[in-house]
Amino acid sequence: MTSQPNRRHFLTTSASAVATYSTAQAQGHTQTHTHEDDKSSGPSNLRVARFRFDITPPQGHSLCGGWIKPVTGIDDALEAIGYVLLGVGKPIVICVLDWTGLLNRAHLHWRQRLAEAAGTTPDRVAVQCVHQHNAPFACLDAQAIVGAQGDLPDIIDPDFFHRCLTTGYESVKESIKHSAPVTHIAHGEAPVNRIAGNRRIIGLDGKVLSQRGSSSTKPAHHKYPEGLIDPMLKTVTFYHGERALVASHYYACHPMSYYGDGRVSADFCGIARRQRQTHNPDCTHLYFNGCGGNIGAGKYNNGSKQARKTLTNRLLEGILASEASMTRQPIKSISWNTQNILPPLNPAFSESALMKEITNNANRPVARNRPAYAVAFIRRVQQKIPLTLSALHINDVSFLHLPAECFVEYQLRAQANATNRFVACAAYGDGGPWYIPTRNAYPQGGYAVSVAWCAPEMDTMLSGGIASLLSRA
């Protein structure tokens, strides 16, 4: 059985893990670059432009990096949804995709293209993914590596990728012509019942004994407690007077009920979002996956089609409950901050050894495609291309935009470090690092650690970046 602290205990004790930032910086343990941009005490001309466009892959396209069944049909479409904030210096763009991930140069291309469309700069663009698995897992750098082999499935079709970017550019450009005034903001939260549980079951030796994934039919996995999660679904809504314009929903959990059957789907999180959109068509609804790297639905999900419907209903109930708890307030202050970090590479991985795995055609595709993502990240860090963390602060609300598959502890630390603010975390931004465990998770082992391209020192660096962003609210 897991030996996990409860959430209340965690929130009261883990702020110190973030506070180590100042000491670590003084000792030279982190490489960061900070931008503090526009800050307004009362933006009277704030406007929002809303956009959405289709990013569903075509028949035969690879899913989840090319190591599960490719597209054979569409159960429900994939979307990119977002908004542009105008009237506070250069425009700010927030976008979320129903894709497994956007990594390295692919993520940079999205930020650059949406910035061009909005008339802003890439440092003022946040692009996150929901992380469904029957969806594209886009890394142009890894695609170039596997493409050179000549006998591996594509990671991403570059033509399809760039068609999505063109559509996105046109959608953002058009949306700005129809922007609406923003006068108020509201925030609320409510518990989500019987979805999330911690994926890592720790044994008596302190090591990962078993992984309770997105689904499981093992009675033991259903018996174990939820463990350390963030049970709250958070919603932040922009208004023009009493009219709701944009509602952003945040919850930390791997968003899969089942996958690998070739049927493209936004899965239970995307379906719940779409149902809420249908009920409330005048407001644009977005769903962001929080720090769900070590969180999944396996405690409550047996992978059946009925389970997808059940999880969808439970998430929708959480969305409605969080909205019901909201109170509108006039927007009085707004600011945008970024923090660049250059992660330390995990010494467990060497480019030469990884390339041998990739070029060995006796290996299964997954054992060849997956190392290409690691090589792409190693080369990226060697080229000193940083990860960009960002935060939008409006009144007492902070929207945090974080990279990759962060463990839930980072989200809980952020909330513990800013108890006077409503902190909404969106992870799965630049997915280059793959998993970002906490430092103490590395010696415990398990799947996530085996595919974490950053060294354990990333804990201090990322926690420090989060602390810096929140300190400038």
The pLDDT of residue 44 is: 79
User: Is the Cα dihedral 69, 72, 77, 79 positive or negative?
Assistant: positive
Distance CA 130, CA 155 (A): 18
pLDDT lower than 50: segments of the chain? 1-34, 41
β-pairing, 32-40 vs 47-54, is unpaired
Contact indicator for 33, 386 with CB cutoff of 8 Å = yes
Q: What type of residue is 310?
A: T
The pLDDT of residue 9 is: 45
**SS3 state at 51:** strand
Q: What type of residue is 9?
A: H
Distance CA 179, CA 172 (A): 11
Model pLDDT for residues 405-447, shown as the tens digit of each residue: 999 999 999 999 999 999 999 999 999 999 999 999 999 999 9
| Among the listed residues 59, 79, 54, 80, the one whose alpha carbon sits nearest the alpha carbon of residue 69 | 59
| Among the listed residues 112, 111, 82, 79, the one whose alpha carbon sits nearest the alpha carbon of residue 95 | 82
- Return the half-sphere exposure (C-beta side, CA atoms, 13 A cut-off) of residue 177: 4
CA-atom Rg of the chain in angstroms: 21
Exposed e or buried b per residue across 99-129, where buried means at least 16 C-beta atoms within 10 angstroms of its C-beta: bbbbbbbbbbbbbebbbbbbebebbbbbbbb
The pLDDT of residue 244 is: 98
What are 235's strand-pairing partners? 188, 249
Distance CA 161, CA 140 (A): 9
Residue ranges covered by each domain of the chain: 7-471
Model pLDDT for residues 330-356, shown as the tens digit of each residue: 999 999 999 999 999 999 999 999 999
Decide: pTM greater than 0.75.
yes
The pLDDT of residue 40 is: 53
The pLDDT of residue 4 is: 39
| Among the listed residues 423, 415, 456, 413, the one whose alpha carbon sits nearest the alpha carbon of residue 438 | 456
Residue whose pair of structure tokens reads 């518990």 in the numeric block:
191
Distance CA 249, CA 189 (A): 9
